[in-house]
Amino acid sequence: MKAKLRELVEAKLRVKEEPNSRGESDSSDQSDLSDQSNQSELSDQSDSSPKQSPQISPSEIRVFVDTAPVLERYWAWKAGLGWIGKSHQLIIPHAGSMFFLGEIFLPYEFDEYDEPMPSRCGNCRRCIDACPTHAITEAQGFDSVKCLSYQLIENRGSLSEEAVSAMHDTIYGCDRCQTACPWNKFATPNTTPEFQPKPELMAMTKDDWHNLTLEQYRKLFKGSAVKRVKFEGLKRNIAAANGNSDVIE
């Protein structure tokens, strides 16, 4: 996805640099207009002439898709793509919240910017009611440490008692707030081959998970975000889901 965004921007830049319909480059047109005899006319029209797009090198472009510490939801909200809901997820009208956010960093400012979108959550509190660890509240916002997704992925220590009692058979992450969100009725499953689960992953049984080895873990999740939890963390989660209290302390 990151590579596709970069290809799109570079293609746009190539279009701007191509000769016009008369076979002349934009730079030659500008040099023609700088003729001494037309200086006064150009001076009068300078304020009304359209601004030229700055020439930038592809090396000056930075593209991110969950690959750098970028405040993606904030910038997506500032760009008018959607609003940050009570679930603290970015919600796009008629699309929902189940998507990747991509950013393209360019070395210049634009003439116009979109406006942030106001919240359309209204009185809905389905995500709040669905949160298994009560990490989302209307009064105090979001308690990230309580979040089941944080506990099962980012937490490097023992799972909290709330997480253990709420996880059931979940061993990685949590999307219950998104599943409960009525805006996600507009979400459509993707057909991108790279995003589809591996057949060997779908074939895993409870016993397979309980007996998972480091080598199997590396092969199963090669190139996957699941590796963020580390092998030890995933085994901890599996043990907790299996009711092994000696491991989860």
Residue 141: helix, strand or coil by DSSP?
strand
* Residue with token string 């960093």: 105
C-beta separation of 166 from 132 below 8 A = yes
Q: Hey, CA dihedral for 104, 109, 114, 119, is it positive or negative?
A: positive
Q: Is 208 a catalytic residue?
A: no
Q: What is the DSSP string of 221-238?
A: TTT-GGGGGHHHHHHHHH
- C-alpha distances in angstroms, 138 versus 73, 93, 130, 191? 19, 21, 13, 35
Long-range Cβ contact pairs of 225-229 (< 8 A, separation 24 or more): 225/66, 226/172, 228/153, 228/154, 229/152, 229/153, 229/172
Could you say which of 66, 114, 129, 208 is catalytic?
A: 66
C-beta separation of 139 from 105 below 8 A = no
**DSSP code for 59:** G
Catalytic positions, written as ranges: 66
